[in-house]
Structures are given as C-alpha cells and as structure tokens.
Amino acid sequence: MSDTPTEYAFGMIGLGTMGRNLLLNMADHGFAVAGYDKSQKQIDLLGQEGKDKPVKGFSDPAAFVNSLKTPRAIMMLVPAGAIVDSVIAEMTPLLSPGDMLIDGGNSYYTDTTRRDKELGDKGLHFFGMGVSGGEEGARFGPSMMPGGDAEAYKIMEPVFDAIAAKVDGEPCVAYMGPGAAGHFVKMVHNGIEYGLMELIAETYGVLKTGLGLDDAAIGEVFTKWNEGRLQSFLIDITKDIFAFKTPDGDHLLLNDIKDEARAKGTGKWTSQVAMDIQAPIPTVDTAVSMRDLSKYKQLREQLGQQYLPAAGHLAGDKDELLGQLEQAFYFSMVITYAQGMHMLSRASEEFKYDLQLATIARVWRGGCIIRSTFLNDIYNAYKSDNKLAHLLLDGGVQKLVQESAGGARAIAVAAIAAGLPVLAYTSAIGYFDAFRTGRLPSNLIQAQRDYFGAHTYELIGKEGTFHTQWTGLRNAPESAPGTQANQAPPVPKE
C-alpha cells in the first residue's frame, strides 16, 4: 500500500472472502483500514489485492488494535457461534471503554442480544449487522442490516452509507432497531432466500421433466424471465448457471453436480423462530425440509425404483403451460416475500424492535441475494402504510396476486397429476387460501383437544373459556376452572 497512515479508521477481524472484500470496498471509498487474521495466507491476499490502497493486514492482535484510531471501530466477520465469543474474549482486554465491536456474521439473534448486554456492561459499544450480497456485494456494494447500539451506528453510518449498494441514489443500509434487530432481519432475509431458491429449483424440475425442455431452452426461459417482472438476482444467476459449461466445453457443469442441497442453518433458524412467535411461513419451512430430504439420495433412488412409473410430462399445450408457469412463479414469489414480511411484523411486536418494514424493503432492493423488481412493490406498500398488518392487504399487491393465482393453480394441478414434486408451489397456494378463509375448520381441532385433553375452547360471541365432558350424557359447555365466564346455553337434545 502507499502512504501508510499511522492510524486506521476501521478494523476488520477475519480476512476471508467477505471480510477482505469489505475492507477493499472501504479503501476504494477513501477510508484507511486495517485487517487482522491468524492466517498469513489471508493477510498476504489482502496485501496483494489492496496494493496501492490505504489498507494493511496484521497477524498480531495487539498491534492491530493499537493501529486503530480511538474510539476504535472493529468489525468481526467470522463463523457464527463459539468462534464469535472467542474473538470477543480475545479482543476485549485490548479495548478501551467507548470502543465499538460489530458482528457482521450470521449470528443467531439471541446470541447477539446476550453479547450486546455483556459488552454494554463493560462500557463497550456493540451492534450486530447482517451483510448480504456475497463476494461481489462485499466488494462493490452489499446490503447491510445493522441493529443494536444506535449511538454506535451513527458513528459508522458515513462509512456504511459509502460502501453500500445504491438504488435510486439511496444506500442499501439503514438502522434496523435495538438489540438483535439487525441479525433478526438478516435471518428472515435468508429464510425468504431459501423459499425463493426452492421455487426456482422446482421450476427447473417442471421445465426439464414436466415440459421436456433441453438445457438451452431452460436457459432461455430464465433469461426471458429476468428481462421482465421476475427480474431478480437469483433468476439472473440461474440463467448464468444454464450457460456455464464444463472446462472441456462438452456440457453444463450443472448436470455434474450432485442433487443434495446443503445449508448453514439460517433457514432452519427462521422456521424455528417463526414457530416460536406463531408466524406461519410454510413456503420457507418447505424449502428447509426439501434441503433435508434431498440428502437422502440413496433412499430416493431406491424408492424411485420401487414406485414406478416415474414422473411424466405435464398435460396441455407447452406454450400455454410456460405462460402459466411464469404466473405460478410470480404468485409464489409474492407469497414467499409476504410470509417473511409478516414474520418481521410479528417479531417487531414480540421483541419491541419497532421495525420499519418500508425501510427493510428499501435496503433489500439492492446488493442482497433476494433483491428483485418486486421489492419496489413491497417498499411502496409499506411506505403507504407502515402499519400494514399483512402485505396481502395492500391493494396493489392484491391485484398482482389475483392476476397470477390462476396460473399457480393450473401448474400445481398439472404437476401433481404428472407426479412432479412441487411442495413449495403448493405450500404458497395453501397459505394464500388459508389466510383468505374467514372461517377455518380449526374449531374441530379445538373440540378434539378438549375431548382428549380437557384443553378447553372459546365460544363465538361469548366471553370466557369452556370445557365439555364429551362422553356419556350430552352436557352443556362449562366454564373452565379459574375463569369468570358464564355457562353456555344447554345443548338441545336430539
């Protein structure tokens, strides 16, 4: 590097792909930055890639900390879990009150809540920040979701505004809320990402097996979609994957990749937490389950031989089915985003995050993995009404859903008839139909629960909680112990 400063404005712990590229991004915007890693290889890479930039790597933690301007601002980009705590333990004795630690990894939100309190008690500022965009985003403009210590974020705001992706001149970064709000928003982002990826994978299955298209034709479908209302980062990279051939140029690399999907856990966390706060996200749940199911390769092959015939072609005109498939994907994509936004709304109430859903949608419009043209519609919906109870209540979104629901149903019916697995598609339809049903058959579940476990139930138009002795004589509902409700009217004899 040139003109080595004696003090650096920002420090990064962890010089892997994300950490290194974020540092270089900052250096490109005129910030003098330092990095620390235990691996000399990563330090050397930083030196090579940061040649002639105001950036320096350190292998000694004390030297690294002492090179930073005070109050110090340090970000950690290391694997979530115990490693984050070990880095904090290593750094804390070297820091001074007023210094700032930022966790930029995919930490579980309750860990962030705990660390926020522990470091606050020691006089250190802390905030957790979700970072999305992968290697390219980190280098040239990510989407960032910081939350926690608001005063600490204000200090770093000019740096993050400078390096974030920009949409319509606005940086794709904003303060999310107190505590673990930033990491919670990033977790839900990843859950939506799981859902969208599963939908794209199922679409691939429909195109390949259900419609019998060859690889080139499938690539053309995704290319066409990416030029219209389905334009998004995930569709964009999918079209590229269908153009990438093996080194010998013989065939697509995709066809050599084993059909067992891996995961790092953020999708599973999203499903688990959604159940804890009673926020239904069945398309995300399905996506997590399908990654798990895909790992049973040998069992799937065995069952495929036992339960012949295999999946067949979709019945109908190919061009008409392609049009319906575009509608089906659009519908299911909208529903997947809607599930995630509803979960954020519930979490905001549950954890007092005061999340601004319009701001979250704005931040997601650029730099992140789930960026798409549709996020502008989400942004506009919540900008008009930030207290919107559910995205599907927005009039503009309602029109889009109603226009595409027919195609979603047609593809689901055709795929099921042909024996094609489209679990994410059908879960999206089921979610939509359930949420627009004013009277669900769930009253039967309550009656069953009361029958076998005396779990009680509530009555329409009558205050209180009731229990019935369902066997023997036909008894009237009785107020459950500990309630002040009046007894319901006697059940008439038949």
Residue whose C-alpha is closest to residue 264's, from 80, 128, 20, 131? 80
Q: Is the peptide bond before 142 cis (omega within 30 degrees of 0)?
A: no
Residue with tokens 């309630």: 483
In the annotation, is 198 catalytic?
no
Instruction: Report the DSSP pairing between strands 166-167 and 170-171.
Output: antiparallel
In the annotation, is 186 catalytic?
yes
In whole angstroms, give the CA distance from residue 189 to residue 170: 20
In whole angstroms, give the CA distance from residue 387 to residue 348: 11
Contacts of 165 (CB under 8 A, 6+ apart): 133, 137, 140, 141, 142, 143, 171, 172, 366, 367, 368
What does the DSSP assignment read for 391-458? GGGSHHHHHHHHHHHHHHHHHHHHHHHHT---HHHHHHHHHHHHHT-SS-THHHHHHHHHHHH---EE
The radius of gyration of the chain from alpha carbons, rounded to an integer in Å, stands at 26
Residue tagged active-site, from 53, 56, 186, 239: 186
Residue tagged active-site, from 193, 198, 202, 326: 193
SS3 content of the chain, % helix, strand, coil (to 5): 55, 10, 35
- For residues 462, 465, 469, 470, the Cα torsion angle rounded to the nearest 10 degrees is 70
In whole angstroms, give the CA distance from residue 340 to residue 390: 10
Type of residue at 68:
L
Residues belonging to the active site = 186, 193
